[in-house]
Chain A
């Protein structure tokens, strides 16, 4: 069964900490994405990547960075966590023609920053 795996389901971090969220896919997909999901705001795109070492800003990149050193792995980095980054974080992947094939999502990481 193909899947997107996020390393943690629940995470609690302190304000100011550097936080790494890891995502691995086993479908050999070119595209990978990081979204955050908040009540009343829906899914918002943080960053995405078309290929290894390639990255592009989404709609809300401030306070985040990403890394894609290998095709199967896409990491989201919170350089200095803040309470307004408390959210559900969803990783997704898709073949190159993503909007037609659809996205495969991971189960999400619920991050709480205290």
Chain B
């Protein structure tokens, strides 16, 4: 069964600290993996996309990694800010897929406290 599982479900950190969010998937055949950030009451916004051949990609203080062999991805946030408080959602696309073939994770809720 095609699934995307994210951990932890929720996380609380202090401002300035680093954190890592995990995404494990069993989607096959794999095309790409994307991380979205969703602020409370807003729609998701894309942070980064990882294709099969990419291991690491950075977007400012956000760094995503992908291990296609173990089917795991992580999103590392460096020097967290209060504005990083949001839900982070991992979504995996199946190769050859149309737009129905996106498998969404349930997200990790991150709270950054002062």
Report which A residues bind B (CB closer than 8 A). Answer: 4, 9, 31, 33, 40-43, 45, 48, 50, 56, 58-59, 90, 92, 94, 98-100, 102-103, 105-108, 110
Contact = CB atoms under 8 A, between A and B. Distances in A.
Interface of B: 31-32, 34, 41-46, 49, 89, 93, 97, 99-102, 104-107
B71 to A, nearest CB: 17
A99 B107 CA distance: 18
Contacts of B100: 45, 48, 56, 58-59
A107 B31 CA distance: 27
Contact of A108 (B43, B102, B106): B43
Contacts of A106: 43
A98 B106 contact: no
Contact of A48 (B89, B93, B99): B99
Given A42-B107, A43-B104, A99 B45 contact: no
A31 B99 contact: yes
A92 B99 CA distance: 11
Nearest to B34: A102
Given A92-B43, A94-B99, A108-B42, A99 B93 contact: yes
